[in-house]
Amino acid sequence: MPELPEVETVRRQLQPLIAGRRITRFTVMPGAERLLRGRSTSEINAQLIGCAFTTVGRRGKYLALHLDNDQVVVVHLRMTGSLRFRTSDHEEESFTRAVFDLDGGDQLRFVDVRKFGTIDFVDQLSEALPELGPEPLSDHFTPEALWYALRGRQQPLKAALLDQRNIAGIGNIYADEALFLARLNPEAPAGSLRPPERRLLHATIRQVLEDGVRHGGASFRDYTDVDGSEGEQQYFVRVFRRTDEPCDECGTTIRRIVVGGRATHFCPKCQPVRQRTRMVKSTRPKQ
């Protein structure tokens, strides 16, 4: 569920809440042992107890909770995960899967209906991360960097944006929104973009992600922030889950199709299938 803006919202909230707080215990609820990936609770507790959280970082959709012994707790929320910061006497949320008890009596809770989320305990952040493309809100993400990720690819644009190896952090909501604002058809081959289209898509990717962060993320279903509140970005989307509603720009009925196995929403008039979809380069240069 959570994409870059949702994860960034959690990061910003969590940092001041847990910085300096020591872990007194880590517990995994029955049925959620998968989270530990084969390690035992006692093994993890041996490493964690007495350590304090320092800073909270983010890479793509991954959260990195750094500890003062240089270990890192790496969290991925996948579809339905959320982190809650609560006092220990606060009623336990349904589907709580794991709990960090902190000194002073607060808790950091990992809540996840579908149990897809992951928590890794590593010495180096990189150990827990797969290959990831550039951070779209960083200075490294330029129109040239976008083109480097897309050039030579025959893959539909939508699928290319969702591939975390190309760009880190874009998910289903923001891919649809960025393509709508750039007036690009989600099925157009990624490698067919002309220079002006590349510049525009680069700008709209940044715009939708920044808007998402500014509105505290999008809560269509399960996403909530650290105290359980919803984001506001769902009120500002132009196409995502607006199937059969009129397009804001032209009134045409928004369509839903499946691209790369994911529901995809677009305006057929604003985002037409281009006639010239010839690839800019016929093959992807060997690295």
Contacting residues toward DNA, per CB under 7 A:
1-3, 6, 31, 34, 60-61, 76, 78-79, 95, 113-116, 130, 153-156, 159, 162, 164, 171-173, 217-223, 241, 258, 260-263
Report DSSP state, residue 105.
S
CB of residue 19 to DNA, shortest distance in Å = 25
CB of residue 121 to DNA, shortest distance in Å = 16
Q: What are the residues whose beta carbons fall under 8 Å from the beta carbon of 91, sequence distance 6 or more?
A: none
What is residue 68's three-state secondary structure?
Answer: coil
How would you list the strands of the sheet with 23-28, edge to edge?
23-28, 96-102, 106-112, 81-87
Q: What share of the chain is helix, strand, coil (3-state, %, to 5)?
A: 30, 25, 50
Question: Is 3 noted as a catalytic residue in this protein?
Answer: yes
Nearer to DNA, 61 or 198 (CB): 61
Nearer to DNA, 102 or 111 (CB): 111
The answer to whether residues 212 and 3 touch, using CB atoms and an 8 Å cutoff, is yes
Question: Is 262 noted as a catalytic residue in this protein?
Answer: yes
DSSP output for 185-231: -TTSBGGG--HHHHHHHHHHHHHHHHHHHHTT---SSS---TTS---
- Catalytic residue, from 262, 268, 269, 274: name it: 262
CB of residue 233 to DNA, shortest distance in Å = 9
Q: CA–CA separation, 174 vs 277, rounded Å?
A: 23
The answer to whether residues 270 and 252 touch, using CB atoms and an 8 Å cutoff, is yes
- Catalytic residue, from 11, 21, 58, 61: name it: 61
Question: Is 269 noted as a catalytic residue in this protein?
Answer: no
Nearer to DNA, 13 or 219 (CB): 219
Nearer to DNA, 85 or 95 (CB): 95
CB of residue 145 to DNA, shortest distance in Å = 19
Q: Among all chains, which residue has been given the structure tokens 């330029």?
A: 142
The residue type found at 269 is K
CB of residue 90 to DNA, shortest distance in Å = 20
- Catalytic residue, from 3, 6, 8, 177: name it: 3
The answer to whether residues 200 and 171 touch, using CB atoms and an 8 Å cutoff, is no
Sheet strands (E) in the chain: 23-28, 53-59, 62-67, 72-76, 81-87, 96-102, 106-112, 118-122, 255-259, 262-266
CB of residue 31 to DNA, shortest distance in Å = 6
Question: Is 158 noted as a catalytic residue in this protein?
Answer: no
Residues designated as active site: 2-3, 61, 262
